[in-house]
Amino acid sequence: MTATSLDRPFTVVSLLPRLLDTNGDAGNARVLAQRIRWSGHDALVVDVHSRADLPEHVDAVSVGSGTDAALLPVRDALRTLVEELRIWSNSGVPILAVGTGWELLSWGIDRADGTVLEGLGLVAGHAVPRATRVTDDIIVASKYGRLIGFENHARDYVGAEASPLGRVIYGTGNSDPRANGPQIEGLTMGEVFCTHLHGPVLARNPALADHLLQAAFDRFGLRYSRGATSESVDEIARAARNQVAVRLGQSPE
């Protein structure tokens, strides 16, 4: 028989939010926690700045994006948590990583000066420099529906061709649109999701948020269902996505 509740709050961890919130991406953790509450369960967000902040239980993880000036200190801070990140990813804890947070979970970052910043090696692929920075809207077709966000990155990403988050309809995604082959965006590995979409992405694309939440609930044999408040908020998100889509020459949902 499926359980109906957890005897403690769901815990959503926001990793290094002081350094990884350049585009408001730390807000993804708050989106997950609020949707859990709207579903009728308790939830809390724990900001983790160091190992000392780690809570006893971790049910979902959000990793945001930061500036290039912070790449080294962020990488070094994440290294102290690499074993936990590996355990979480291997045990089905949903993890969302955006922008430079994603790049630092990879094999590494090739920098424009020819040096390489070694990553944590938790997801396949690595970041490579672009000739020009991408700053534009992006639309992605995915199994979680059409995803819309804003991309802002100075690097492409290679090595994720076998497991993308989706196919780019408008924008750049992982690589220069002038390159050969289909344009793809992001990376998925089990319940680890990596993307260039800012926004924060989960506020604008609640279907992706709900997939992460169902993965979190599945670990306890719980069924996730969005509450009535989620349904009304999702209509606002849908209208916002449609406004962008129409402006970019795409049909509304």
78 belongs to a structural domain: yes
pLDDT of amino acid 53 = 97
pLDDT of amino acid 3 = 60
79 belongs to a structural domain: yes
Catalytic-labelled residue, pool 41, 153, 196, 198:
198
Percent residues over pLDDT 70 in the chain: 98
pLDDT of amino acid 75 = 98
Residue 209: give the domain boundaries: 10-247
Confidence of residue 5 (pLDDT cuts 50, 70, 90): confident
253 belongs to a structural domain: no
Return the CATH number at 80. 3.40.50.880
Query: What does the radius of gyration of the chain's CA atoms come to, in whole angstroms?
Result: 17
Residue 252 has pLDDT above 80, yes or no: yes
Residue 2 has pLDDT above 60, yes or no: no
DSSP code at position 18: T
Residue 68 has pLDDT above 60, yes or no: yes
pLDDT of amino acid 1 = 37
> Rounded mean pLDDT of 182-204?
96
Torsion of CA 232, 236, 242, 244, to 10 degrees: -160
Tell me how many domains the chain contains. 1
Binding site, annotated residues for substrate: 133
Q: Would residue 126 show up in a list of annotated catalytic residues for this protein? A: no
191 belongs to a structural domain: yes
60 belongs to a structural domain: yes
4 belongs to a structural domain: no
2 belongs to a structural domain: no
109 belongs to a structural domain: yes
Sign of the dihedral defined by the CA atoms of residues 193, 195, 198, 201, in that order: negative
> Rounded mean pLDDT of 6-35?
96
> Rounded mean pLDDT of 152-178?
92
Confidence of residue 176 (pLDDT cuts 50, 70, 90): confident
**Ranges 23-32, 52-61, 179-188: which has the least confidence:** 179-188
Strand 108-110, strand 116-118: pairing: antiparallel
- CA geometry: angle at 16 spanning 14 and 17, to 5°? 65
Complete DSSP assignment for 28-86? HHHHHHHHHHHTT--EEEEEESSGGG--S--SEEEE----GGGHHHHHHHHHTTHHHHH
Residue 35 has pLDDT above 80, yes or no: yes
Burial class (CB in 10 A: 0-12, 13-18, 19+), 179: exposed
pLDDT of amino acid 199 = 87
Binding site, annotated residues: 133
